[in-house]
Structure 1
Amino acid sequence: MDEKEIIVIAAIAIPISLVIIVIVLFSVFARRKNRLLQEQEAAKKEFERELAESQIEIREETLRNISWELHDNIGQLMTLAKIQAQMSLEKPEMMVEVSETIGTGIDELRALSKLINPEALKSLSLKEAVGMEIDRFNRLKFIAAKLTVEGIVTPIEANTQIILFRILQEFFSNTIKHSRASELSVVLDYTDNKLAITAADNGIGFEKNDDFMGIGLKNMTTRAKLINSTLRINSEKGKGTALYLECIFN
């Protein structure tokens, strides 16, 4: 094979080789791109599944809280109003107390309705929603509760805010029902791109093998992960329980 033939073959082979290399690289890139898209789609579906499960859990927990509120709070107010009404048959002056008790019951129903309705919550800031819960606890003398807000309040995406509020509601519910606490403090600390939430009670605390640690903490942690937040709960027997929740804004 003379030099000219070698040059001709090389001239043909090099472009063909380059074309083959380009095709192979394109094929590899396309496969990687497709795999990445499939992984993203799978991650999206997994997120949507976890979000749906979390929303179901939130609804179930909300329904349990409504049942408790209606039975132990509003139900007692209505029972008191009935007793007062019966007594007013002999003491007409007690009708004023009957009216006040019924009015209190109606106000509590309205407050409860607002705090369990996602659409109503979207019209409130997290500060306002938590403040309403704190005011209600104090008004009904469930517990001596206090809310502190630090920094400049930053608007939060509606679904993220609802999940943050539901996490706090679950903590509040466990505090009031099980902790035997007399005090509850909540701090919302806003910085440029972060919200740090602290909620603490002075109750009896719990150990890691308690039911609340097994189920309640798992539910709250799952919800926090859905909104790219971190949650930590510290508790010790006889020394109360504290929740630390950190949400990073996009």
Structure 2
Amino acid sequence: MEFKGGELIFLVSTLIIGLITIALVALFGVFQKKKKALLIDRDETKKRFEREIAETQIEIREETLRNISWELHDNIGQLLTLAKIQLQNATPENISEVSETITKGLTEVRALSKLINPEAIKNIKLGDAVQLEIDRFNRLNFINSTLIISGDEQIINKKSSIIIFRILQEFFSNTIKHSKASNLRVQLKFTDTELEVVAADDGVGFSSLENEKKGIGLENIKNRAKLIGASAVFTSEVNKGTSLKIVYKL
């Protein structure tokens, strides 16, 4: 069959339009599938983040309860025992010692109440929360601790603040339990664009081989940091201490 010029052009045009239409439909289908996959992934990421926040809050609560238990037993309990002994042997000359011991006990109870009050902890700034930990370490003579805050302290997203605080809690716990360190130094450095957190001890440190054994714990900390778009980097050498650096974009 022989086509005239106009018919041939019409057929070719129709064929091209048909192919373009099919291609567009196929591309639209691919786009819709990718969009659906992205939405599902976003929802899963959000759910995973919320689960992590919930787990982190539980861990902070558990750590706080452990701290309260230690402080009641090792500090306030001893002060009350001392006050009891002093009262049993009280004389007009040493009654001031009893008063001093009781006053110190009351001060410790007030400090402890800040940890017990969930509303106070929930609404506290990151710097204040870390300062409470530092004060406790010094009060119980766990380790000589200092906190330095530089720059203009900014309001941090509450969920991000929870994650950062829990990461620091884990570092503090490892330092006190395993590092044999004498000093702990924490710095919160605020700039216009980021918060840099550095925690460092002067303990025994650990080698690359030991680092592999600790890998799961360190990886968990790094993964938690990633959840809030932050980075967490450990540095350690045998007999030269360990440091943790967190960088969080404001």
**TM bucket normalised to smaller:** 0.7 to 0.9
- Once structures 1 and 2 are overlaid, which stretch shifts more, 186-195 or 2-11? 2-11
Q: CA deviation at 1:244?
A: 1.8
- Aligned equivalents of 2:220, 2:29: Cα separation in 1: 44
- Aligned equivalents of 1:220, 1:34: Cα separation in 2: 31
1:79 is aligned to 2:75 = no
What does 1:106-117 correspond to in 2, within 5 Å?
106-115=106-115
- What are the superposed Cα offsets for residues 113-140 of structure 1, whole Å, 9 maximum, x if unpaired? 4246553234433223323333443344
- Aligned equivalents of 1:233, 1:2: Cα separation in 2: 77
- Once structures 1 and 2 are overlaid, which stretch shifts more, 27-36 or 95-104? 95-104
Quickly say closer, same or farther: Cα 1:146–1:247, change in 2 above 3 A.
same
Quickly say closer, same or farther: Cα 1:234–1:7, change in 2 above 3 A.
closer
Residue of structure 2 equivalent to 1:35 = 37
- Aligned equivalents of 1:79, 1:173: Cα separation in 2: 28
TM-score normalized with structure 1 length: 0.79
Quickly say closer, same or farther: Cα 1:220–1:58, change in 2 above 3 A.
farther
What is the root-mean-square deviation of aligned Cα atoms in Å?
3.2
What is the aligned length? Answer: 247
Residue of structure 1 equivalent to 2:50 = 48
Runs of 4+ with >6 A deviation: none
Quickly say closer, same or farther: Cα 1:26–1:214, change in 2 above 3 A.
closer
Quickly say closer, same or farther: Cα 1:83–1:36, change in 2 above 3 A.
same
- Aligned equivalents of 1:60, 1:248: Cα separation in 2: 28
Q: Please list every run of 5 or more consecutive structure 2 residues that lacks an aligned counterpart in the other structure.
A: none
Query: Is the 8 Å Cα contact of residues 149 and 189 (structure 1) preserved in structure 2?
Result: yes
1:57 is aligned to 2:59 = yes
Quickly say closer, same or farther: Cα 1:194–1:49, change in 2 above 3 A.
same
- Aligned equivalents of 2:109, 2:54: Cα separation in 1: 28
1:220 is aligned to 2:221 = yes
Counterpart amino acid of residue 245 in structure 2: Y
Counterpart amino acid of residue 174 in structure 2: N
Quickly say closer, same or farther: Cα 1:245–1:25, change in 2 above 3 A.
closer
Q: Please list every run of 5 or more consecutive structure 1 residues that lacks an aligned counterpart in the other structure.
A: none
2:23 to 18, 21, 24: 21
**Among the aligned pairs, what percent are the same residue?**
54
